[in-house]
Structure 1
């Protein structure tokens, strides 16, 4: 087949180049679309990870809030006990002061008791000596009286 009379090889070359360029543009668009899909998939995965972490943080914060509420309740329950302990410490200080004042009196009473025991011992020994002397005197008087009779 012979080319027609109005066949222009330059025009066909330009059309071939235009078609090749269009194919290149189509391939480039396909690559861009594929890249966009991959990027969107990565973004979706990243958002899923962010949401998962956010859920974990929400759960952790809820746990912390519960612990704080329990601690707050425990602290409010401890306040009266703390006040009682403070009052007990004040009472203990007062008792220490009172005992400190009592110690000299107690020491004096112990000294008196020891002196009393010593005095009773001396009186007992003296009484015993007096009793023995009286008994001996009675014996001599009796022997003198009996000896005369």
Structure 2
């Protein structure tokens, strides 16, 4: 090979190397931009997750406070409910006693009327 042919081949190879290096640099630049975009998206996503987590913590706190308030209300209502149940049972018992007494009185009254009718009719 002649020296000019060698120079041309070397220049061509150097040109190919430079082009390859530029292509690699462009690939690295695109990868870096993609990584930056990906990191930005991940940061945004994490921020949204943290915000939702904070909202959940607030909501759970409100639910706990509501449950505590309801528990206090129920504990205040329990004695009243027990009293009402006791009154109901006492009322049912009183109605039962009254019913038995009324039945006994009715039977006694019927028997008294029967005896009066027998006396009037003379069937003693």
TM over 0.5: yes
CA distance in 2: counterparts of 1:65 and 1:53, whole angstroms? 18
Q: Specify whether residues 51 and 59 from structure 1 end up closer, same or farther in structure 2 by C-alpha distance, changes over 3 A only.
A: same
The 5 A counterparts of 1:61-80 are 61-80=60-79
Q: Alpha-carbon deviations, 1:49-108, whole Å to 9, x = none?
A: 101111111111111111111111111112111211221111011111111022135545
Larger Rg: 1
3-state SS of paired residue (1:8): helix
CA distance in 1: counterparts of 2:84 and 2:103, whole angstroms? 30
The 5 A counterparts of 1:49-60 are 49-60=48-59
Match for residue 45 of structure 1?
A: 44
TM-score where L is the length of structure 1 = 0.65
TM-score where L is the length of structure 2 = 0.77
CA distance in 1: counterparts of 2:65 and 2:4, whole angstroms? 92
Greater shift, 92-101 or 28-37, is seen at 92-101
Match for residue 28 of structure 2?
A: 29
Q: Would you say how many aligned residue pairs link Structure 1 and Structure 2?
A: 111
Q: Unpaired segments of 5 or more residues in structure 1?
A: 113-149
Q: Unpaired segments of 5 or more residues in structure 2?
A: 113-124
Higher RCO, 1 vs 2 (CA within 8 Å, ≥6 residues apart): 2
